[in-house]
Structure 1
Amino acid sequence: MKAKAKAKKSDKQLLVDSLSAKLGSAQALFYTDFTGLNVKRMTDLRRRLKKAGVEYVVIKNTLALRAVNESGLVSQRLKGPTGVVVAKDGITAAKVLSDFAKENDQRPSVKGGIYEGNAVDEAM
């Protein structure tokens, strides 16, 4: 039983380390609430972001915050389902998110994030 717990803990740490590494070269990080998006729309969103060179990661809030804090950034607390948008080009990422939300009843909504080291609020 203890071996399983250690494996899970190391798996979680791998997720945190991977996200931390991605954040090191990112210009922007946006937290999104994807509630209300079905699988088809979620796949479409991921496809659009990937085409724009942007990564979209769904990860537990505690792990996302740990990765952000380990990368030297400071972030707000997160609640509810969260998708993390990691982008080298923050403007392109914001445009893809905005355009997609306009077409899909304002989903996903942006909870906040970080752009060039500055906090971004939900009013983005």
Structure 2
Amino acid sequence: MKTRKHKEQIAQELKEKFQKAPLVILTNFQGMTVAETNQLRRKLREAGAEYKVVKNTLMRYAYPGTPVEQIKDAFVGPTGIVFAFDDIVAAAKALKDYMAGDGKEEPKLKFKAAIVEGKVADFNMIKQLAELPSREELLGQLAFTLKYPVNAMAWSLENLFTKLVTVLENVKAEKEGAA
């Protein structure tokens, strides 16, 4: 049994995470096995996110004054919380597989509510977020976009020099042939 001081410490840690995390997703994990939950935690950790299960009674002390207060009504029944701090797209992608199901069965991990950048989000918004390119893909596209004009200019200059050399060789050949 946790002491009052320990519970206050947990509530304070949660409050800090609620304030810092740009993506907070509340889920219902009822029906998931311990192995499935551990696999979910591992996958989220790889994406730079974390998954916590905390009693709803502790949440009442953690969410006041945070963006999560907007979805306080979702703290009913078994609640798992996803906190994404760095790459919210990667976290959404990691969750997508667990919330989509296989088509034959209903997914075991169910969406309750979410906060994205301080605003309430629905499940469709989380799915759209999961379909965005990852941070690395976006950085690659940006690098290509920035590199393209430089490459085009280098190619143009090289092409000009090649044409100049060709013209000069033709002029030289004409003068030698006329002499």
Q: Do both share a fold (TM > 0.5)?
A: yes
- Name the TM tier (shorter chain): 0.7 to 0.9
Indicate which of 57, 68, 83 corresponds to 2:80: 83
CA distance in 1, matches of 2:18, 2:37: 22
Change beyond 3 A, Cα 1:72–1:112: closer
Give the superposed CA RMSD: 2.1
User: Structure 1 length as normaliser, TM-score?
Assistant: 0.82
Indicate which of 58, 62, 68 corresponds to 1:67: 62
Q: Which moved more, 1:109-118 or 1:90-99?
A: 90-99
CA distance in 2, matches of 1:99, 1:57: 18
Q: Report the equivalent of 2:95.
A: 97
| Residue 53 of structure 2 corresponds to residue 52 of structure 1 | no
Higher relative contact order (CA 8 A, sep 6+): 1
Q: Which moved more, 1:102-111 or 1:57-66?
A: 102-111
Question: Secondary structure of 2:72's match?
Answer: coil
- Higher relative strand content: 1
CA deviations on 1:13-62 (whole Å, 9 max, x unpaired) are 11011111222321011000001110111110010001111011100112
Unpaired runs of 5+ in structure 1? none
Q: Report the equivalent of 2:21.
A: 26
Equivalent positions of 1:99-118 (< 5 A) are 99-103=97-101, 105-118=106-119
Q: Report the equivalent of 1:120.
A: 121
CA distance in 2, matches of 1:49, 1:57: 11
Q: May I ask how many residue pairs the two structures share in their alignment?
A: 119
Question: Secondary structure of 2:61's match?
Answer: helix
CA deviations on 1:65-113 (whole Å, 9 max, x unpaired) are 4312243542331211000111113322222111123356412111002
Matched AA of 1:87 = A
Matched AA of 1:106 = P
CA distance in 1, matches of 2:84, 2:76: 22
The sequence identity of aligned pairs, in percent, is: 33
CA distance in 2, matches of 1:60, 1:71: 18
CA distance in 1, matches of 2:35, 2:68: 33
Q: Which has the larger radius of gyration?
A: 2
CA distance in 1, matches of 2:25, 2:61: 15
